[in-house]
Amino acid sequence: MKILKSLMVTAAVSLALMANAAHAENKKIALVVKALGIGFFEAANKGAQEAAKELGDVEVIYTGPTSTTAEGQIEVINSLIAQKVDAIAVSANDTDALVPALKKAMDRGIKVISWDSGVAKDGRMMHLNPSSNPLIGNMIIKLAADNLPEGGDVAVLSASATATNQNTWIAEMKKVQGNYKGINVVTTVYGDDLADKSYRETQGLIQSYPNLKAIIAPTSVGIVAAAQAVTDAGKIGQINVTGLGLPSEMAGHVKSGASKSFAIWNPIDLGYSATMIAYDLIGGAEAKPGAELKMGRMGTVKLDDNNEGAMADPFVYDAKNVEEFAKIF
Amino acid sequence: MAEIHLTPRHIPDRLEGRGARLLKSWESLLLVVACLIFLGNSLASPYFLDPWNLSDATFNFTEKAMIAFAMALVIIAGEIDLSVASIIALASTAMGYAVQLGFDTPALVAIGLSVGLICGAINGLLITGLGLPSIVVTIGTMSLFRGLSFIILGDQAFTGYPDSFSWFGQGYVWWVFSFEFTLFVALAVVYGVVLHRTNFGRAVYAIGNNQTAALFSGIRVARVKFVLFLLTGLMAGLASICLTSRLGSTRPSIALGWELEVVTMVVLGGVNILGGSGTIPGVVLAALIMGMVTFGFGLLNVPGIVMSIFIGLLLISVIALPILWRRARQRLAH
């Protein structure tokens, strides 16, 4: 009994101290993530803290459930409503299940936005996509072209033939192909997002196209498998593997030279921009189709008919910065 | 004529008086803990003592507590039901499917409850009919029921529930008292009466203490157990209605991992995991404690993992303290 009592008292006192440490006059922006302890979201928090520092009168509350459940996020959102935060920026575990809780938050005057993983239209004022399909399509061919000043043959290693995301990006890429002189896209093969199939398809590409200069893999599984296949075939320096990948998985291949550069969203910028947008909304900006919201150093975001906006081009990772980000995600 | 005085001799049926027993009981310990947490929360956050905030906080535990009442009876009878969270998922999927077919709120409620009952009946039949251990059967049906939801839904979601359906999880009966909280209180009374004041309740204790003795004293053990699994199924169906209504949508991952939270609630409430003892007031207090800890820590933005650690420590200390207390007393007596 005594032990328990003293435990409880210690807990209560320490909690009280923690509560007092917070500044009451600051605007409170809650960054709600899918679950705590995920590198990608820890990095987003870094960006949010950067934004808070820049803005001065903002306190960022970085929070989320222990596991990636909608129920856990609703508990978190309820406690944020109770604390009367000024804004909630959420990366949702469930597009629909959070809507009633977030609607309640908006009813009580809290600005609600979603980022990274969106909430259905009724449950938020705007959604921030890390990038947009045209920007991604342009980026993946630009990465290949930047290292091929004289042009050359380029092949695409995609996920499955029915993968909506990849098909859209490849279609967008083909639209802007004319802007990159001499770049000749010879074929698209499908590795089905399986490491072994992607590896074999890459081997096939290397044999079928002796003049191949680059492989574009807009999938994080494919890009790693392709880089490995190029390494194993001894083609480093001849064939550059690029596309969309995760720094932690690609760091080795960038170091070996199999991949000169690749792209993916930058979680730090994403957390930074979400915080900036939330602040803009607290300040009175209105989220409506066509509106432009301020994102600090990231410029502005323009909202489409669904009140969605794209932050920026995918962020490019190369030998200079990949090690640093490999620690994050 | 000498009159014979017949003073009835009092034979005590317990070793200690009512008051002393009450003071030393598990429930009083939980009550003290609950009060301390309430006090701690009120001191730590200015937002805690607000009727609406407290009302919002009740949603953290009401659905789980509904199942915990039935689960308490099952565990007291020496069994366990780990499939409850999956029953929530399956019942919710069935209701979502019915919405696509154009059914309205009364039909949805009937479907939710029936799916719960059917799942409970499947568990009950396998356990009592074939004599299989409940932990094995319900681990199996846990995968089965949720697996069915995954097959039906995949990565999709059912939405578009009628507006009137949202009342169960978002509506209020009176002032700050939500439908869910009112239901929680009503069910607490019903389960309290059933367990502590009826023959059925005595039978549950008897089975948990000694199944063979219970059988020889004329208790229909299999039938009682079957009813208990029907009840957990029904309560899971009810919880599914509330949760689905609160979320306004169904995904196969709904209520993932709730079975362990429900069991934690029951054990924290003082129900012996090996069966034979436990009370409904204990479970009610445990539900309140878990709800307040989650909400209180949430208000202070303490990371969720710290809450889990705290609940774990609470569970271990509340279980260990009475044992340590008894040992210490024995040592003093010698």
Alpha-carbon distance of B26 to A277, in angstroms, equals 51
Beta bridge partners of A300: A294
Q: CA gyration radius for chain A?
A: 23
The tens-digit pLDDT sequence of chain A (329 residues) is 445 555 555 555 454 444 444 444 789 999 999 888 887 888 899 999 999 999 999 999 999 988 888 999 999 999 999 999 999 999 998 889 999 999 999 999 999 999 988 899 999 999 999 899 899 999 999 999 998 988 899 999 998 887 778 888 999 999 999 899 889 999 999 998 889 999 999 999 999 999 999 999 999 889 999 999 999 999 999 999 999 998 999 999 999 999 999 999 888 999 999 999 999 999 998 888 988 999 999 989 999 998 999 898 899 999 989 988 888 78
Nearest Cα neighbor of B97 from B171, B163, B156, B147 is B156
Beta bridge partners of A189: A157
What would the two tokens of residue A136 be?
A: 């991604």
Q: With respect to residue A321, please indicate whether it lies within any of the assigned structural domains.
A: no
Of B248, B296, B305, the CB nearest to A96: B248
Alpha-carbon distance of B72 to B76, in angstroms, equals 6
Cβ-based burial of A79 (10 A; exposed 0-12, middle 13-18, buried ≥19): buried
What would the two tokens of residue B328 be?
A: 């210490």
DSSP secondary structure string for all residues of B4-27: PP-PPPP--SSSS-HHHHHHHSHH
Contact A97 B254 (CB under 8 A): yes
Q: With respect to residue A145, please indicate whether it lies within any of the assigned structural domains.
A: yes
List all residues 6 or more positions away from A216 whose beta carbon is below 8 Å from its beta carbon: A140, A141, A143, A144, A154, A155, A156, A157, A173, A242, A243
Q: With respect to residue A34, please indicate whether it lies within any of the assigned structural domains.
A: yes
Q: With respect to residue A325, please indicate whether it lies within any of the assigned structural domains.
A: no
The secondary structure element, H or E, covering residue A152 is strand A152-158
* Min Cα separation A272/chain B (Å): 20
Q: With respect to residue A49, please indicate whether it lies within any of the assigned structural domains.
A: yes
Alpha-carbon distance of B1 to A87, in angstroms, equals 92
Nearest Cα neighbor of A201 from A156, A249, A239, A246 is A156
Of A12, A78, A83, the CB nearest to B57: A78
Nearest Cα neighbor of A87 from A240, A280, A253, A232 is A280
* Min Cα separation B166/chain A (Å): 9
Instruction: Provide, as residue numbers in chain B, all residues whose Cβ is less than 8 Å from the Cβ of A20.
Output: none
Same domain, A260 and A283: no
Alpha-carbon distance of A77 to A85, in angstroms, equals 10
- Give the HSE-up count for residue A182: Cα atoms under 13 Å, Cβ half-sphere: 12
Domain end call among A231, A246, A264: A264
Cβ-based burial of A55 (10 A; exposed 0-12, middle 13-18, buried ≥19): middle
Q: Angle at which helices A39-55 and A267-282 pack, to 10 degrees?
A: 40
Nearest Cα neighbor of B297 from A58, A76, A30 is A76
Same domain, A234 and A156: yes
Which amino acid appears at position A202 of this protein? T
DSSP secondary structure string for all residues of B190-214: HHHHHHHHSHHHHHHHHHHH-HHHH
Give the model confidence (pLDDT) of B213-260 as tens digits: 999 999 999 999 999 999 999 999 999 999 999 999 999 999 988 999
Give the model confidence (pLDDT) of B138-169 as tens digits: 999 999 999 999 999 987 889 899 999 999 99
Same domain, A112 and A168: no
Alpha-carbon distance of B97 to B158, in angstroms, equals 7
Give CB contacts under 8 A, 24+ apart, made by A205-208: A205/A155, A205/A157, A206/A230, A206/A233, A206/A235, A206/A239
The secondary structure element, H or E, covering residue B63 is helix B62-76
Same domain, A51 and A123: yes
Query: What's the total number of domains in chain A?
Result: 2
Confidence at residue B17, expressed as pLDDT on a 0 to 100 scale = 66
Q: With respect to residue A329, please indicate whether it lies within any of the assigned structural domains.
A: no
Residue with tokens 């009724």: A122
Is there a contact between B146 and B89 (Cβ–Cβ < 8 Å)? yes
Contact A78 B60 (CB under 8 A): yes
- Give the HSE-up count for residue A261: Cα atoms under 13 Å, Cβ half-sphere: 18
- Give the HSE-up count for residue A187: Cα atoms under 13 Å, Cβ half-sphere: 11
Nearest Cα neighbor of B310 from B264, B273, B278 is B264
* Min Cα separation A108/chain B (Å): 12
Confidence at residue B305, expressed as pLDDT on a 0 to 100 scale = 77
Same domain, A237 and A150: yes
Instruction: Provide, as residue numbers in chain A, all residues whose Cβ is less than 8 Å from the Cβ of B56.
Output: 78, 81-82
The total number of residues shown for chain A amounts to: 329
Same domain, A145 and A245: yes
Contact B249 A94 (CB under 8 A): yes
List all residues 6 or more positions away from A44 whose beta carbon is below 8 Å from its beta carbon: A31, A33, A91, A116, A267, A268, A270, A271, A274
Is there a contact between A253 and A273 (Cβ–Cβ < 8 Å)? no
Q: With respect to residue A104, please indicate whether it lies within any of the assigned structural domains.
A: yes
Confidence at residue A163, expressed as pLDDT on a 0 to 100 scale = 79
Confidence at residue A293, expressed as pLDDT on a 0 to 100 scale = 92
Residue burial A86-118, b: 16+ Cβ < 10 Å; e: rest: bbbbbbbbbbbbbbbbbbbbbeeebbbbbbbeb
Contact A100 B247 (CB under 8 A): yes
Same domain, A85 and A65: yes
Give the model confidence (pLDDT) of A27-72 as tens digits: 999 999 988 888 788 889 999 999 999 999 999 999 998 888 899 9
Domain end call among A209, A235, A264: A264
Neighbours of A257 (CB within 10 A): 15
* Min Cα separation B89/chain A (Å): 13
The CATH number of whichever domain residue A243 belongs to comes to 3.40.50.2300
List all residues 6 or more positions away from A72 whose beta carbon is below 8 Å from its beta carbon: A35, A64, A65, A66, A93, B304
Confidence at residue A40, expressed as pLDDT on a 0 to 100 scale = 83
Q: Angle at which helices B179-197 and B221-247 pack, to 10 degrees?
A: 170
Same domain, A186 and A245: yes
Q: List C-alpha distances in Å: B327 to A128, B21, B320.
A: 60, 18, 11
Same domain, A251 and A103: no
The secondary structure element, H or E, covering residue B306 is helix B304-333
Establish, for the pair of chains A and B, how many residue pairs have beta carbons separated by less than 8 Å.
133
* Min Cα separation A99/chain B (Å): 7
Nearest Cα neighbor of B264 from B309, B315, B208, B195 is B315
What would the two tokens of residue B68 be?
A: 């915990």
| Antiparallel, parallel or unpaired: β A212-217 and B177-178 | unpaired
Alpha-carbon distance of A3 to A221, in angstroms, equals 52
Same domain, A40 and A73: yes
Q: Can you give the residue range of the structural domain that contains A213?
A: 133-264
Alpha-carbon distance of B141 to B148, in angstroms, equals 10
Same domain, A249 and A296: no
Q: With respect to residue A316, please indicate whether it lies within any of the assigned structural domains.
A: no
Same domain, A40 and A120: yes
Confidence at residue A11, expressed as pLDDT on a 0 to 100 scale = 53
Domains assigned to chain B:
52-320 (1.10.3470)
Q: Mean pLDDT per segment of 10 residues, for chain B of length 334 residues?
A: 64 63 79 92 90 90 96 97 97 96 96 98 96 96 96 88 93 92 97 96 95 94 97 98 95 91 92 92 94 89 80 80 81 78
Alpha-carbon distance of A289 to A187, in angstroms, equals 38
At A291 the three-state DSSP class reads coil
Choose the mutation target among A2, A5, A10, A15 for the interface with B, i.e. most B CBs under 10 Å: A15
Alpha-carbon distance of B318 to B140, in angstroms, equals 31
DSSP classification of residue B177 = E
Nearest Cα neighbor of B243 from B255, B260, B257 is B255
| Antiparallel, parallel or unpaired: β A315-318 and A111-115 | unpaired
Nearest Cα neighbor of A240 from A222, A219, A226, A225 is A226
